[in-house]
Structure 1
Amino acid sequence: MARAIQLAERGRLTTDPNPRVGCVLVRDGVIVGEGWHRRAGEPHAERFALVTAGDRARGATAYVTLEPCCHHGRTPPCTDGLIEAGVARVVCAMVDPNPLVAGQGIAQLRAAGIATETGVREAEARALNPGFVKRMAQGRPYVRCKLAASLDGRTAMASGESQWISSEAARRDVHRLRARSSAILTGIGTVLADDPSLNVRLDASELEGMGSADEIRQPLRVVADSFWRMPTTARMLGLPGETLVAGVEHLPERIAALEAAGAQVVVCPQHLGRVDLTALMETLAKRAVNEVLLETGPTLAGAAVSAGLVDEIILYLAPHLMGESAQGLFDLPWVEAMADRVALDIQDVRRVGPDLRIRVRPCLG
């Protein structure tokens, strides 16, 4: 199963919106076939492994990081392929949270006389697909909030100047985060101040798991723009990939202008006069968005944390000081006493160039 998990990782940047899955076929203690899911619409991991194994798949054990699918989508059911190949045993790291599968694949294999087992290295398998698992289980994507700050916790000067707080090495690391994300979310304040591109600006050869011939998938760019202030000349609207603008009022003229400029639009419910972020996340999940990277200022970042939407915070901490007049990381007006603090669980700390990258998870009850 460890090898199957390694294989699944190879699809980290390409499988979206499908889950990352790896499969290894073992017969008489020898690997006879292996494969991983590369991208949506192409064969699943089990199908690749069966092709490489050929007749040696008969009587083999299949180790799969996710329960084999049993429904017809863009590709045929993997359960049918395993049964037809004469596999004797299937070991799944985890049950598929997709309601179209959700144990039915295992039941179909058992009905065909194939021995099955689940729960082997399940935590590692879940870590492969946090967004897919959350979208299927909760109807919302997995949200990472990316921030860069000085050592004294400042993200921009009082004037709004913020380029560049972090190092070139940290910025390249952010592009790798973007490459694995389904969507990048920012606020209209960031767009008006910085006119960002919010795209992946690395060559395929610079991204682990991609060859130079692979095309980089640009994540969906999402702008929370409650009152439709998005400029039709915004840089991101002229770049490859899609841009979605979310507002709260139906203003036909502004919406038509944005659509003519190449944007997609969605009218969301409002919360406290602004885009309801929970509703926006549910809308993105319906668009098969698994993982969202939040790149924004303290207002939207604080609102997302306050709404309990942020699963992970990734902070690039640069070795310099910016002083008390500079902007902070999060606007959390409801935090007035020590008892109101947002507890954080540190997951990982490592050096990226001269900066520190700290990965934490909010411990919101």
Structure 2
Amino acid sequence: MAGQAEVEAMRRAVQLAQRGAATASPNPVVGCVVLDPDGRTVGEGWHERPGGPHAEVAALRAAGAAARGATAVVTLEPCRHTGRTGPCTRALLEAGIARVVYAVADPSAVAGGGAEQLRAAGVAVEGGVLAEEAEAGNARWLTAARLGRPQIVWKYAATLDGRSAAADGTSRWITSPQARADVHALRADVDAVVAGVGTVLADDPQLTVRAPDGTPAARQPLRVVVDTAGRTPTGSCVLDDTAPTWVATAAELGVGPDGHVDLQALARGLYARGVLRALVEGGPTLAGALLRAGLVDRVVGYVAPALLGAGAPALAEAGVATIADAYRLELLDVRRVGPDVRLEAVPRARGARQDEAEE
């Protein structure tokens, strides 16, 4: 079993991996630490960008001759394929690494299997060390690699009584400037921003990443309009030249069980475009359809301390007929953003029982 020095090195490797969070996509974030036989760190590295050296190669370069007979501690199973760079398994063998400790197995058909290749070459290999921590930091890539679709985050803004718009249809602004700034930070962390055509027709959003003064960010995610019948007006803000846009129609993707755009085909289409994490911002009908299709991996809600009493709900029909069928979520984070509350959660298994007894 992994020793204390290796566990601590893995914790450090998880931290190193996050240095590539903003630049590694569509590749995974990976960190690596090389330990000499006495458990001392002799090299560190992380994957910074596509086409750049993988974490293991960067750590081996830092270690130099000290890598011979050493242990490589890495957050993701070393790859065994040749892409824009060579296989990490070969680099580890050529460097004389004697032991490899990794956190999460590589689920991809092309690159997975590196552990067995290393074992066959006489390297001692152990997997699963701090797997949960490494999974959390690499969730978007792992979701995409395992499911062939992006990690999908549904974001909503609502009043305390769950309304996303007033009775007259007005919805700007439910939440505060601080919450809206936080949303732009969230957009900056995804590869695509998705909205339904109803939101485009009602609000004419730009769906871009902007600074508080309105200046567009240098890197913009793909804008996606889910538009069954192709109703997006040609003059919509979402079609300007600030960022690329995909208007996803039923003519292109086919029709799902509800008569609208096939959402499974949409998810596959996003993945084919290199999208590993997509942010769904509107509206309630699209959110309900994604939940019914099992395509929501995370929920980020901004709740304003305001009451409307009437108006559109934040979530439309989602296939829940009775309380036993409710979508139960596990809260990951709750914090104030200005006067509002930001909640982040992941869905639990459908039909899971409440932990607390209810009267």
TM-score interval w.r.t. the shorter chain?
Answer: 0.7 to 0.9
Local SS of the residue matching 1:295: strand
What are the residue-to-residue correspondences of 1:289-308 with 2, within 5 Å? 289-308=275-294
1:335 to 320, 326, 342: 320
Q: CA deviation at 1:272?
A: 2.6
Partner residue in 1 for 2:92: 82
Quick one: distance in 1 between partners of 2:231 and 2:297?
28
* Deviation string, structure 1 residues 79-109 (Cα, Å, up to 9, x no partner): 111111111211110110111122x211222
Q: In the alignment, what sits opposite 1:284?
A: 270
Is 1:64–1:91's contact at 8 Å kept on the other side of the alignment? Answer: yes
CA 1:152 to 1:15, structure 2 compared with 1: closer, same or farther past 3 Å?
Answer: same
| 1:202, distance to aligned residue in structure 2 (A) | 4.1
TM superposition shift of 1:160: 2.6
The one-letter amino acid paired with 1:80 is: R
What does 1:128-147 correspond to in 2, within 5 Å?
Answer: 128-147=137-156
Task: Please list, as runs of the form range in 1=range in 2, the aligned pairs for 1:223-234 lying within 5 A after superposition.
Answer: 223-234=225-236
Q: Distance in 2 between matches of 1:29 and 1:333?
A: 53
Q: Which runs of 5+ in 2 are unaligned?
A: 1-9, 352-359
Match of 1:4, as an amino acid? A
- In structure 1, runs of 5+ residues without a counterpart are 204-214, 250-265
CA RMSD of aligned residues (A): 1.9
For the pair 1:32 / 2:18, whether they are aligned, the reply is no
| Equivalent residue, structure 2, for 1:23 | 32
Shift of 1:362: 2.8
Tell me how far apart the structure 2 counterparts of residues 3 and 247 of structure 1 sit (CA, whole Å): 45
User: Does the CA-based 8 Å contact 1:33-1:52 persist in structure 2?
Assistant: yes
Distance (whole Å) between structure 2 residues aligned to residue 247 and residue 338 of structure 1: 34
Native 8 Å contact 1:34 1:53 kept in 2:
yes
- Higher RCO, 1 or 2 (CA under 8 Å, sep at least 6)? 1
Shift in alpha-carbon separation, 1:75–1:268, aligned structure 2, 3 A: farther
- Equivalent residue runs for 1:176-255 within 5 Å: 176-202=185-211, 216-249=218-251
1:309 aligns with 2:295: yes
| Cα-to-partner distance string for 1:130-173 (whole Å, 9 max, x where unaligned) | 22222222222211100111111111123332222122222222
| Pair 1:156 & 2:165 matched | yes
Correspondence for 2:123: 114
Tell me the number of residue pairs that the alignment of Structure 1 and Structure 2 aligns: 336
**CA shift for structure 1 position 353:** 2.0
- Offset of residue 333 of structure 1: 6.4
User: Structure 2 CA distance, aligned partners of 1:239 and 1:25?
Assistant: 46
Contact (CA 8 Å) 1:269, 1:279: kept in 2 or not? no
In 1, distance between residues paired with 2:240 and 2:278?
21
Whole-Å Cα distance in 2 between the matches of residues 108 and 152 of structure 1? 56
- % identical equivalent positions: 52
Residue in 1 that maps onto 2:56: 46
Counterparts in 2 of 1:267 and 1:279: CA distance versus 1, 3 Å: closer
Shift of 1:312: 1.4
Q: Does 1:98 align with 2:120?
A: no
Distance in structure 1 (CA, Å) of the matches to 2:59 and 2:83? 19
8 Å Cα contact 2:79/2:111 also seen in 1: yes
Q: Which residue of 2 aligns with 1:262?
A: none
